[in-house]
Amino acid sequence: MGPMSALTRNEAQLRAQLLDVHHYAVTLDLTTGDETFDSTTVIRFSARTPADTFVELKPEELRSATLDGHPLDPAALDGNRLPLTGLAEGPHELRVDARMRYSRTGEGLHRFTDPADGETYVYTQMFMDDVQRVFPAFDQPDLKAVFEFTVTAPAHWTVLANGTTTHTGDREADGAGVWTSAPTPVISTYLAAVAAGPWHSVTTEHAGLPFGIHCRKSLAPHLDADADEILSVTTACYDRYHEKFTEPYPFDSYDQAFVPEFNAGAMENPGLVTFRDEFVFRSAVTDTERQRRAMVIAHEMAHMWFGDLVTLAWFDDIWLNESFAEYMGYQTLTEATRFTGTWTEFGMERKPWGYAADQRPSTHPVAPGPDDVPDTASALLNFDGISYAKGASALRQLVAWLGEKDFLAGINTHFARHKFANATLADFVDSLAAHTDRDVHAWADVWLRTTGIDTLTPRIQESHGGWTLTVDRHGSRPHRITAGTYARATDGLLERTALLDLDVPSDEILSASGPRPDLLVLNDGDLGYAKVRLDETSLETALRGLSRIPDPLTRAVVWGSLRDMVRDGELDPFDYLRTLDAHIPEESDLAVVQGVLGFARTQIADRYVDPADRGTALGLITSATRDLLRRTEDGSDPGLRLAAVRAFIDSATQPDTIAAWLADGVVAGGPELDPELSWRILARLAVLGAVDEDAIDAALAADPSATGQQGAARCRAALPTAEAKDAAWQRLFHDDDLSNYLFSATAQGFWQPEQTELLHDHVARYYPEAIAVGARRGPAIGEAAGRWAFPAPHVDEANLRAGHAALEDPGITPMMRRVLVDQLDDLARSLRVRAARTS
């Protein structure tokens, strides 16, 4: 068998011209052992002309294949391609019988045994080209077909699929259950889905359709506790989308399965959305985290139209799926549920992801050209902050420019024209253009076909009796934004005095009477996508009075401006930390608190300040969190208190206080320690050398769950001993038996800023061994090795040189190259920020 081949765009276009695929009948037997399963598939398709082509599959063993009743040679399988030669024009039937391997990396058919009770679960993640790990397919998004599944599973299991499933009987030999699924409408191969196991399910009916939520049995009480919230968000979004969209929901049911060891946040399989099961909360969470779960629910449901009903023709148009689902998720949640602060969380958490991605060498247009996405391997790299956060921000700009009425009219035309089919950026722009006199094609060129982020800087000039404002633009895009002006009130609050609509660039100079504002905030309301700066007076006002700005979204914009200034070397990181110490204790918005503390802890303290100053940086963070803890002792805001407790634990430089909390099982003044807080404290104590293997073993015995296993792996890797580090290194880069989640947990524990001397010799070892494991174990592990196992605390030129040299390794995979390029750019930025402090 030859090497696996990524499908190229040219190959996909040729095959789409040759074939019409009609129907997949997939039969899976999940009772054949722990390592493999049986997969038998019948594909009905037609050739438009006589042709040679191929079907893709990645079997453990190809037992047989027949085309129109004639056997094919299994040895003809070349890598992941089975040739189909000499096809006559007209209908054909391909039958394939194969033994397939279960996955432990979240790709294909992932198998997981729950350490809490020994029960086993499997679920598919077919995205991009992983359907081939489960059954053969003409695997490209524009060869849609009907799918039906027949699944044999252990007797006590339930089987879920895209269509409603029915238990049709038991196999006589062993009592195993046989399940069949209703046929789907035509969908793309990457969207077919099955999930099987002894699920705990909560079901209801809404709008005449069955709705269900499902999780592992060991998580049942936690799902039950939140079932009303999850289902009410689901049905509220469903109803709101039916108010927005003229096309009705196109599938026969709506199941949401919370599945173990899931790589993404969720996946939009029609009728069977899969979510990472951390969204079934075992421990206390903040309301912002509940809002985040609700947003993912809304995002995935938007995909039922954007992606599932109308699907991209090729992966250069990923943004047509992800940017729309991201925008619609945030906007619809705001309109239809109690979570009305979603755009503040977007500004604090998601937008910085887009801003960071857009300033790296790996940036790409929101809508790259077809030549930029030549194959599926390159397409996989674009699921990033550009395709999600920047694209959603661009759509906010588009709505601000077109108006929501014309925007929704264009969307509905797009659905009507392309339902159950495929569409491109050009198709979408044409649909919008049908409803507006504005030049949508020109807008798409400057917003979707370009890279980078503009910077907007206000220039305020005082004049007789008033002041004037001009906005300098470093960049090339037009922006429609608002600017807020604020004045100090007698009670210390900063009151908004005006909200000015601005088009940038503009030949007009905005003039105003009266004194110049104490604070001017460009992009107030955060409808734009640009870095914004503060004029000198406004910067001084912000540093002194940030918590006195009334609107949390405005505060988020100002905090974002300060964040960007730190990252660009224009604001001393300690000015940011001192502002945090002064204002976060007064902050009431959870998304702002979590975003500011997260940036301060993981970027400033760990990367942007010299090691000699790190203790001072952590001290400012713990000072602010102590103040927050004092403020919330009365139980008035448990979410803020939880955020403060977490940040205090993560920033502790001495073990005494957090060790006492762990011993007592409670934070003084509350909350009681749940599993998440207990493992968090134990991980920090491990870093500080204040616990040993025995303590970790005891904690795992008390919490033998999957998250307990991950917590123990993280803690063991964090212990500051050569023996612990060597053992973790062996597990990461040589044993090859860690699942995707246990790999990531081990990697997260390994590198610590407190342990750079201990780990000095591992830095050079990292690059060749991480590249090798990525090539050996595939994209999911490669991404984890690059993201979590990277030696980020080693902010020095030697690490940077070693990394750049490693990019020349001929064995590096596209995924590993992309992640390392991003990590090395972040490392170089950290060096620049440190240099700016000392210059």
**What are the catalytic residues?**
300
At a CB cut-off of 8 Å and minimum separation 6, what does 56 contact?
7, 80, 81, 82, 129, 132, 136, 137, 138, 139
Helix axes 573-583, 536-545, angle to 10 degrees: 50
d(CA 727, CA 350): 35
* Own/partner pairs, 772-776, CB within 8 angstroms, 24+ separation: 772/733, 772/811, 773/732, 773/733, 773/736, 774/812, 774/813, 774/815, 774/816, 775/811, 775/812, 775/813, 775/816, 776/736
Residue 684, by phi and psi: left (phi above 0), alpha (psi -120 to 50) or beta? alpha
Let me know if 387 is exposed, middle or buried by CB neighbors in 10 A (0-12, 13-18, 19+).
buried
Tell me if 395 sits within 8 A of 324, measured CB to CB.
yes
Q: Percentage helix, strand, coil, to 5, in the chain?
A: 45, 25, 30
User: What CA–CA distances, in Å, run from 629 to 459, 639, 645?
Assistant: 40, 11, 7
DSSP state letter for 547: G
Length of the chain (residues): 839
Which residue type is seen at 702? A
d(CA 243, CA 235): 13
Pseudo-torsion of CA 309, 313, 316, 319, nearest 10°? -10
The residues that bridge with 98 in the sheet, in sequence order, are 39, 62
d(CA 381, CA 786): 13
Let me know if 444 is exposed, middle or buried by CB neighbors in 10 A (0-12, 13-18, 19+).
buried
Helix, coil or strand: residue 455: strand
Closest C-alpha among 289, 314, 414, 433 to residue 13 = 314
Q: Count the neighbouring beta carbons within 10 Å of the beta carbon of residue 660.
A: 13
Helix, coil or strand: residue 496: strand
- E strand or H helix at 581, and its extent? helix 573-583
Q: Using omega within 30 degrees of 0 as the cis cutoff, is the peptide bond preceding 671 cis?
A: yes
Q: Count the neighbouring beta carbons within 10 Å of the beta carbon of residue 14.
A: 13
Pseudo-torsion of CA 160, 162, 167, 173, nearest 10°? -70
Closest C-alpha among 738, 736, 794 to residue 716 = 738
Helix, coil or strand: residue 650: helix
CA atoms within 13 Å, Cβ hemisphere of 269: 31
Query: What's the gap between Cα 452 and its chain centre?
Result: 21
The three-point CA angle 86-88-92 to 5° equals: 100
Closest C-alpha among 817, 765, 814 to residue 791 = 765
User: What CA–CA distances, in Å, run from 9 to 37, 374, 421?
Assistant: 31, 5, 18
d(CA 230, CA 209): 16
Phi, psi of 186, deg, nearest 5:
-70, 130
DSSP state letter for 221: H
Tell me if 211 sits within 8 A of 201, measured CB to CB.
no
The three-point CA angle 522-826-446 to 5° equals: 45
